[in-house]
Amino acid sequence: MKDDIKILEVLEYLPKHIGAMIAKLPEKILMDAEEIRLRLAKPLCVSGSNAELFIAANGYAVSAAEEAYFVSEDDLKRALQLTCNYSLYSVEEELRNGFITVSGGHRVGVCGRTVVDGGKVKTLKDISYMNFRVAKQVLGASDKVSGYLLQPPDSIYNTLIISPPQCGKTTLLRDLVRRLSSGSKDIPFKGMKISLVDERSEIAACSMGIPRNDVGIRTDVLDGCPKAVGIIMVIRSMSPEIVATDEIGRSEDADAITAAVNAGVKVITTIHGSNITDFLNKQDLKRIQKGVFERYVVLSRKKGVGTLETVLDGEFNALYERSKEHL
């Protein structure tokens, strides 16, 4: 049972007394918890899919913020040291992006004062906000969707997953990759060669080059590489049938995706947004708004994380709509 509670792995990166407070919470809350938030001189907070709890110094969840344990500057400094394994220089690149991936695929978001050099973020200092996000691999998250994406007998449609943050976009992508790579006996599908460009190490959760999550048997993971460069690299080097990547948004990403599609490689990727219009409004992605993707999957958390809202085809015709299902 204890092994199922992923949040316990994260506690290792918190100062001992804070870890002890959180470990005292009831198992049910821990199972559900998704984030632990440390904010300077603000209450310690644990949040899950349906609740936000303040934690008191004795380890009890309290509803009133005043009764909670207030995070000190020292706590944050220590948590940062533990998170980066006492070596800020080893997470230089990651700090620039605002988060550090720790072993187990958990992600620690940091916020503080930015040092800017020539318009680019050089580093972050005076870290005063930290967000420990618990990574949970949900095997079977793609059960409902995958049927819409397969192109019998042995190919798939270029797919874009559209979802607001925290709605299970990465979880869905990870499970899709696992399923498409390993193949499946229930729906006769033989499995395809996938190159996973994992810029932020959160899909495969590689640590020292070894994926900590199950991403399938035919998957090659390019860990920590910028998407635009990585996509071109893997197409040349690994001869993939599918390229999968997370959170596109810049125009270089659009160029790389166009290059992949033109090379005859299938693409699965994700983007932030809450409906198809959000995607069509993104100026940087003009090039890939028409004729590239053949399936759009829209997620929300209306019925819990990873609620499948709609599936659209390349012409934006609905193949599935949650709102109509119950009529």
Say whether the peptide bond before residue 153 is cis (omega within 30 degrees of 0).
Answer: yes
Least Å distance between CB 121 and other proteins? 12
Name the β-bridge partners of 6.
none
Q: Burial level of 165, CB count in 10 A (0-12/13-18/19+)?
A: exposed
The owner of tokens 């220089």 is: 89
Least Å distance between CB 174 and other proteins? 26
| 229 Cα distance to chain centroid | 20
Among 92, 126, 143, 284, binds other proteins (CB under 8 A): 92
CB of 318 within 8 A of CB of 311? yes
Least Å distance between CB 123 and other proteins? 6
Nearer to other proteins, 92 or 154 (CB): 92
Taking CB under 8 A as the rule, which mask of x and - marks residues 14-53 in contact with other proteins? -xx-------------------------------------
CB of 163 within 8 A of CB of 299? yes
List, in sequence order, the alpha helices (H) in the chain: 7-11, 16-23, 27-32, 73-83, 92-97, 143-149, 169-182, 227-238, 251-262, 276-280, 322-325
Taking CB under 8 A as the rule, which mask of x and - marks residues 123-162 in contact with other proteins? x---------------------------------------
CB of 159 within 8 A of CB of 295? yes
Which of the 8 DSSP states describes residue 106?
A: -
CB of 183 within 8 A of CB of 153? no
Which of the 8 DSSP states describes residue 189?
A: B
Confirm or reject binding of residue 281 to other proteins (CB under 8 A).
no
- Residues that bind other proteins (rule: CB under 8 A) add up to a total of 16
Among 49, 58, 63, 90, binds other proteins (CB under 8 A): 90
From the list 277, 271, 280, 275, the residue with the least C-alpha distance to 323 is 275
Nearer to other proteins, 86 or 315 (CB): 86
Least Å distance between CB 79 and other proteins? 9
Q: Which stretch binds other proteins (CB under 8 A): 49-57, 88-96, 129-137, 262-270?
A: 88-96
Nearer to other proteins, 81 or 251 (CB): 81
Taking CB under 8 A as the rule, which mask of x and - marks residues 48-87 in contact with other proteins? -----------------------------xx--xx-xxxx
Least Å distance between CB 81 and other proteins? 6
Least Å distance between CB 85 and other proteins? 4
Per-residue burial over 235-248, b if 16 or more Cβ lie within 10 Å, else e, is: beeeebbbbbbbbb
CB of 188 within 8 A of CB of 150? no
Nearer to other proteins, 127 or 271 (CB): 127
From the list 29, 54, 23, the residue with the least C-alpha distance to 39 is 54
Nearer to other proteins, 89 or 324 (CB): 89
Least Å distance between CB 110 and other proteins? 14
Contact positions vs other proteins (CB under 8 A):
15-16, 77-78, 81-82, 84-90, 92, 122-123
